[in-house]
């Protein structure tokens, strides 16, 4: 079997236009990556259909462009003339549409495999890997490449109003994508240039341990074109170890002396940073960010390095970066009313929670911070329980609802919610997390349902409070309800 790098070498001239006239069906089309890929294929002339359990953001735009989208998963939604089926990571073999595709002998590919096919059809693939920051960094790259006139194609794992959605089809040679390590998905990619932002324990439901995770990143690094570029985090010894397996040119970025791409002379205003960028010891640009958080300076450095490698003029980078406005569910301000600020974020890993709370506090300087964290997956919560327990030190009030059921139970209604799966002592995961936070001196409470959480907040938040909803599930519904009941009433 060919490796991704070997496939890229032989298939480089294979055009994505091969999708023109083909019928592609997406099972789980509502995911940001899946819906973005569907939009790309529509732009390439494919006949696109798909299904998901519930309506989703961007569904109307896909339908308006000609996609046929069904709600719910039923065998009848799979046309017999479909050429191939794309499935998300959340789709089990018991899915009726997937079972129908298997019976018909239709080719079935995972989303990650589709990305590999699309990237092999491009001259210069760009892949952003790492435990945290992939979505924002991918979006920054797309924004900088556009600002420099490179007109890239891209696929981001979240909606970006600024970019016109979660994907875009450009006329330039670059295809910029997130490279996700779950299920070793990123090993389907063979980019010309890439970044490894950081490596931490995660997805321990499909990796044995941290060493195995680092090994997978090392294989990803090895797949980068030997004539290309790999940028890695200078301050993370795991990323450096993984990058050492690459045959490409390796450059480092970060805040440490000796990094090839070095941020210096940092200033902060309302949580957002200004800084100079030194490349190989020389000041290349002086710029700033309009999104908060020191971690986003690191993300920006990686994007700047990749854009510069792609041929972007430093002046264009300097002017474009401050205009980047972020992506959906990354410290997104949802509303303000009666002196209460409501912000939503995708944070679902201990490190993400910690830096997100810190960035939000610097940004809004609240009297009191409410952290509403919905754990994502029982396995992740169990494996990282101690780290989760230590992540809420900057929050004044913490509420933890039930674990969001994902992947294992998303398509099997009879399966009990993951929150009902107990730890070894019989305690459900969310309750155990609350107990451990309280043992560390935090003010935390367990409230199973999101409606109850919203009701509690409506009764107890006061002027000067910040409500920060966090998680990869549907905890954003709490933010939406608060906006409706607090912020909208303020304007009434």
Please pick, among 124, 134, 239, 432, the residue that the annotation labels catalytic. 134
Give which of 124, 105, 138 is closest to 172, Cα–Cα: 124
Q: Provide the b/e sequence for 31-47 (b: ≥16 CB within 10 Å).
A: bbbbbbbbbbbbbbebb
- Tracing tokens 């809420």 back to the chain, one arrives at 392
Among the listed residues 97, 124, 131, 135, the single catalytic one is 135
Tell me the C-alpha distance between 43 and 24, whole Å. 13
Q: How far apart are CA 180 and CA 185, in angstroms?
A: 6
Looking from the CA of 27 toward its CB, the CA atoms found within 13 Å total 31
CA–CA gap between residue 12 and residue 124 (Å, rounded): 9
Q: Is the dihedral of CA 413, 446, 337, 289 positive or negative?
A: negative
Contacts of residue 191, defined as CB under 8 A and 6 or more positions apart, other chains included, come to 119, 125, 126, 127, 179, 223, 224, 225, 228
Q: How far apart are the first and last CA of the chain?
A: 64
Cα pseudo-dihedral 445, 448, 452, 456, rounded to 10: 0
Strand bridging mode 340-345 / 332-337:
antiparallel
Q: How far apart are CA 273 and CA 375, in angstroms?
A: 30
- 82-to-31, 49, 103, 179 alpha-carbon distances in Å: 21, 9, 13, 27
Indicate the SS3 state at residue 254.
strand
The yes-or-no answer on residue 135 being catalytic is yes
Rounded Cα distance between 180 and 112, Å, is 8
Q: Any idea what the Cα angle at residue 163 is, between residues 335 and 175, rounded to 5°?
A: 140
- Backbone phi and psi for residue 259, each to the nearest 5 degrees, phi listed first: -65, 140
Residue with tokens 């790309």: 40
Q: Which of 178, 192, 245, 481 is catalytic?
A: 178
DSSP 374-420: --B-HHHHHHTHHHHHTS-TT-SEEEE-PPBP-SSSTT-TTSPPGGG
Dig out the tokens for 67 from the structure.
Answer: 């996609």
d(CA 127, CA 223): 11
Cα–Cα nearest to 193, from 163, 232, 155, 166: 232
The H or E element that residue 26 is part of is: strand 23-27
Q: In whole angstroms, what is the distance from residue 409 CA to residue 414 CA?
A: 9
Active site residues: 134-135, 178
């Amino acid at each position: 079997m060919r490796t991704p790098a070997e496939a890229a070498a032989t298939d480089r001239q294979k055009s994505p236009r091969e999708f023109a006239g083909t019928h592609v069906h997406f099972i789980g089309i509502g995911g940001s990556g899946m819906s973005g890929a569907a939009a790309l294929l529509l732009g390439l002339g494919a006949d696109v259909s798909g299904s998901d359990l519930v309506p989703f953001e961007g569904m109307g735009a896909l339908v308006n462009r000609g996609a046929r989208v069904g709600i719910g998963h039923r065998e009848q939604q799979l046309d017999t003339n479909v050429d191939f089926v794309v499935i998300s990571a959340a789709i089990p073999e018991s899915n009726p549409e997937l079972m129908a595709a298997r019976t018909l002998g239709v080719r079935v590919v995972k989303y990650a495999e589709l990305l590999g096919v699309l990237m092999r059809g491009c001259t210069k693939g760009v892949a952003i890997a790492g435990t945290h920051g992939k979505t924002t960094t991918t979006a920054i790259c797309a924004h900088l490449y556009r600002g420099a006139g490179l007109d890239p194609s891209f696929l981001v794992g979240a909606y970006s109003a600024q970019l016109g959605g979660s994907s875009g089809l450009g006329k330039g040679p670059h295809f910029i994508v997130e490279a996700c390590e779950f299920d070793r998905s990123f090993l389907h990619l063979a980019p010309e240039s890439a970044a490894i932002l950081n490596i931490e324990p995660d997805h321990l439901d499909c990796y044995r341990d941290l060493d195995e995770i680092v090994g997978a990143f090392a294989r990803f690094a090895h797949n980068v074109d030997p004539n290309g570029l790999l940028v890695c985090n200078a301050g993370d010894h795991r990323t450096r170890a993984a990058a050492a397996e690459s045959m490409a040119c390796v450059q480092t970025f970060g805040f440490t002396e000796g990094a090839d791409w070095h941020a210096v002379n940092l200033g902060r205003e309302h949580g957002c940073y200004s800084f100079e960028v030194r490349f190989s010891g020389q000041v290349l640009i002086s710029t700033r960010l309009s999104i908060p958080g020191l971690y986003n300076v690191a993300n920006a450095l990686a994007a700047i390095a990749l854009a510069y490698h792609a041929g972007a003029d430093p002046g264009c980078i300097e002017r474009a970066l401050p205009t980047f406005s972020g992506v959906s569910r990354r410290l997104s301000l949802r509303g303000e009313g009666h002196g209460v600020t409501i912000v939503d974020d995708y944070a679902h890993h201990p490190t993400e929670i910690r830096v997100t709370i810190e960035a939000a506090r610097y940004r809004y300087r609240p009297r009191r911070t409410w952290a509403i964290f919905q754990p994502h997956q029982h396995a992740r919560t169990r494996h990282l329980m101690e780290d989760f327990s230590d992540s809420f030190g900057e929050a004044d009030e913490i509420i933890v609802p039930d674990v969001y059921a994902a992947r294992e139970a998303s398509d099997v209604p009879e399966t009990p919610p993951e929150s009902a799966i107990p730890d070894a002592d019989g305690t459900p995961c969310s309750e155990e997390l609350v107990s451990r936070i309280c043992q560390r001196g935090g003010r935390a409470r367990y409230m199973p349902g999101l409606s109850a959480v919203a009701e509690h907040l409506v009764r107890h938040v006061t002027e000067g409070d910040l409500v920060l909803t966090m998680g990869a599930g549907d905890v954003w519904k709490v933010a939406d309800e608060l906006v409706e009941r607090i912020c909208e009433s303020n304007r009434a």
